[in-house]
């Protein structure tokens, strides 16, 4: 309901905008993940605090698609996984021969956790048990699929070992609930609404990774880090679950006006409590997290803000 409220409120604001107002588009993801409520919350913050600017959160296929939207100028801001952002900026892996050099970061907002979910009655106890099963690997063009492929291949599992289904978060939850698939992956800030809703209707199990599997994944993707899902995060989750985490980055085009980028960055960090009220993932929205986790250079406007607050800015974040 909160997401619907944002969408309706923002759409009403758009109708009433004066012609002189600057309209900003924020590329997010599907409505069952965290990008959309975070993007919607930040849009509402922009509308409330930045004079002459209005923003809307757009539903997209998430990380990979969002890089193209920023490159073409079809979105002004976008949320995307750090590995996707890095690959796009460097023209490597999934972005080989299609490098996007004009990506700049405003901040790293929160870490995603790769979450593998099945029904409690399932015989799937580890990623090895996915072989021969029907498994959702995330929506086409999503960071989830990039993370899943890297995680599995680093541990000797290919798409040929199971039946991959490319479903978004809500579709994955529905398919698990209805028995149409055996398991599904999410790469998203926990807790996420689609898993919460699934756990409220069916008994589920989240699958832990072994220390060796985590290490193998880190060797494959530098931005992967160990991450623990706390016990009790979802109904029936009695023990903590070990997995991997990946930062989520708020990016813009290098051509964005420096003053606007400065105002957006200042707004994010000086009104973080408003974003936390939208989703608890924003508890990780700190200057330190941005300095430690951001994989591409910062926009000059963002740099200006971080210099003002006395942040120690690594050389890699300077254009």
Q: Over the stretch 85-110, which tens digit does the pLDDT of each residue have?
A: 999 999 998 899 999 999 999 999 99
Check residue 20 and give its pLDDT: 53
The reply to whether 170 falls in a domain is yes
Q: Over the stretch 131-150, which tens digit does the pLDDT of each residue have?
A: 999 999 999 878 899 899 99
Nearest to 244 by CA among 42, 83, 51, 43: 83
Q: Which one of 246, 273, 292 terminates a domain?
A: 246
Q: Find all residues with CB under 8 Å of 135, minimum gap 6, and list them.
A: 162, 163, 164, 165, 181, 182, 183, 184, 185
Are residues 217 and 301 located together in one domain of the fold? no
Tell me the CATH number at 127.
3.40.190.10
The reply to whether 6 falls in a domain is no
Are residues 134 and 200 located together in one domain of the fold? yes
3-class secondary structure, 202: coil
Question: How deeply is 8 buried, as exposed, middle or buried, from its count of CB atoms within 10 A (0-12, 13-18, 19+)?
Answer: exposed
Q: Find all residues with CB under 8 Å of 24, minimum gap 6, and list them.
A: 43, 46, 53, 54, 55, 56, 76, 77
Q: Which one of 221, 246, 271 terminates a domain?
A: 246
Q: Which one of 246, 269, 304 terminates a domain?
A: 246
Residue 190 has pLDDT above 90, yes or no: no
Instruction: Please give the mean pLDDT across all residues of the chain.
Output: 91
- pTM value is 0.75
Phi–psi pair at 112, nearest 5 degrees: -85, 155
Are residues 274 and 234 located together in one domain of the fold? no
Instruction: Give the tokens for residue 149.
Output: 């492929």
Cα angle: 178, vertex 184, 190; to 5 degrees: 110
Are residues 207 and 302 located together in one domain of the fold? no
Are residues 226 and 293 located together in one domain of the fold? no
The reply to whether 232 falls in a domain is yes
- Give the range among 18-22, 168-172, 188-192, 245-249 with minimum mean pLDDT: 18-22
How many Å apart are CA 131 and CA 156, to the nearest integer? 11
Contact 195, 122 (CB under 8 A): no
The reply to whether 14 falls in a domain is no
Cα angle: 233, vertex 237, 242; to 5 degrees: 80
Confidence at 10, pLDDT banded by 50, 70, 90: very low
DSSP string, 88-102: HHHT-GGGTT---TT
Are residues 29 and 133 located together in one domain of the fold? no
- Domains: count for the chain: 2
The reply to whether 171 falls in a domain is yes
Are residues 121 and 237 located together in one domain of the fold? yes
Are residues 216 and 158 located together in one domain of the fold? yes
Are residues 164 and 207 located together in one domain of the fold? yes
Are residues 68 and 119 located together in one domain of the fold? no
Contact 246, 73 (CB under 8 A): no
Other residues' Cβ atoms within 10 Å of the Cβ of residue 70: 25
Residue 14 has pLDDT above 50, yes or no: no
Are residues 39 and 106 located together in one domain of the fold? yes
Are residues 254 and 312 located together in one domain of the fold? yes
What mean pLDDT comes out for the span 26-51? 95
Q: Which domain holds residue 312?
A: 22-110+248-317
What mean pLDDT comes out for the span 197-215? 97
């Amino acid at each position: 309901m909160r997401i619907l409220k944002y969408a309706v409120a923002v759409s009403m604001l758009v109708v009433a905008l004066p012609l002189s107002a600057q309209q900003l588009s924020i590329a997010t993801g599907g409505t069952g993940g965290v990008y959309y409520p975070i993007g919607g919350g930040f849009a509402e913050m922009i509308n409330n605090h930045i004079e002459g600017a209005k923003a809307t959160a757009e539903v997209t296929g998430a990380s990979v698609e969002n890089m193209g939207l920023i490159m073409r100028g079809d979105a002004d801001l976008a949320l995307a996984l750090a590995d996707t952002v890095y690959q796009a900026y460097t023209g490597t892996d999934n972005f080989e021969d299609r490098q996007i050099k004009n990506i700049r970061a405003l901040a790293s907002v929160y870490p995603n956790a790769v979450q593998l979910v099945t029904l409690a009655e399932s015989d799937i106890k580890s990623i090895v048990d996915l072989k021969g099963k029907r498994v959702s690997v995330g929506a086409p063009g999503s960071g989830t699929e990039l993370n899943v492929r890297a995680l599995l291949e680093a541990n000797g599992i290919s798409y040929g070992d199971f039946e991959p289904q490319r479903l978004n978060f809500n579709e994955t939850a529905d398919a698990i609930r209805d028995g149409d698939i055996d398991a599904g992956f999410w790469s998203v800030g926990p807790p996420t609404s689609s898993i919460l809703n699934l756990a409220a209707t069916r008994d589920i199990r989240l699958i832990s990774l072994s220390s060796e599997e985590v290490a193998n994944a880190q060797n494959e993707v530098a931005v992967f880090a160990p991450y623990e899902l706390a016990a009790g995060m979802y109904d029936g989750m009695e023990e903590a679950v070990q997995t991997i985490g990946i930062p989520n980055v708020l990016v813009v085009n290098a051509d964005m006006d420096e003053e606007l980028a400065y105002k957006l960055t200042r707004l994010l960090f000086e009104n973080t409590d408003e974003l936390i009220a939208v989703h608890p993932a924003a508890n990780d929205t700190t200057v330190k997290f941005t300095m430690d986790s951001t994989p591409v250079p910062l926009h000059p406007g963002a740099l200006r803000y971080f210099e003002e607050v006395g942040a120690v800015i690594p050389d890699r974040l300077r254009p």
